[in-house]
Amino acid sequence: MSEASSWSTLRTHLMLFDGKVHIQRFEDKLTGGIPDCNVCWTPVGFKAKNSIEFWMEGKFVKELPKRATTKVKVGLRPDQALWLETRQRAGGNAFVWVRIADVGWQLWSSRFRALQDGIPANEFLQEPVYSTCKDMARLLRVLLISEPLAQ
């Protein structure tokens, strides 16, 4: 599995969210840091003006280090970490999903600078690891619905 096939799997599960979903992959070669994907979702029972918008950056880790103290580097660049933090400070929803080959999926809603610098493997695996993309997408849905909506 690669980042491209992981993205395809995630997109499939995002499209299964109840209600209306619009997903836009995003590649901007001129402006650094903008995440890979923007999603606008209007859950069933919500009015379009109360839709939930979020940004996601995807990363793929081919294998975890053998030593627990060796840092896992997902490849999050400084400009990406800064963009994600800035978006959240402004009240937006921003996440990093990580597909760890042969292990599972993680969803990060914070600690972007730590992801940028690398996190020791034993600490990295203290974050929840979901065996399937479907399980991670369920968590994302719960996080988005349980968060107060910006007015």
Q: Provide the whole-model pTM.
A: 0.90
CATH code of residue 65 = 3.40.1350.10
DSSP string covering 86-146: HHHHTT-EEEEEEEETTTEEEEESS-HHHHHH-EEHHHHTTS--BSSHHHHHHHHHHHHHH
The answer to whether residue 132 sits within a structural domain is: yes
Domain that holds residue 135: 3-146
Question: For 105-137, how does the pLDDT look when each residue is reduced to its tens digit (9 = 90+)?
Answer: 999 999 999 999 999 999 999 999 999 999 999
The answer to whether residue 151 sits within a structural domain is: no
pLDDT of residue 139 exceeding 60: yes
Give the count of domains, the chain.
1
Question: For 20-39, how does the pLDDT look when each residue is reduced to its tens digit (9 = 90+)?
Answer: 999 999 887 777 899 999 99
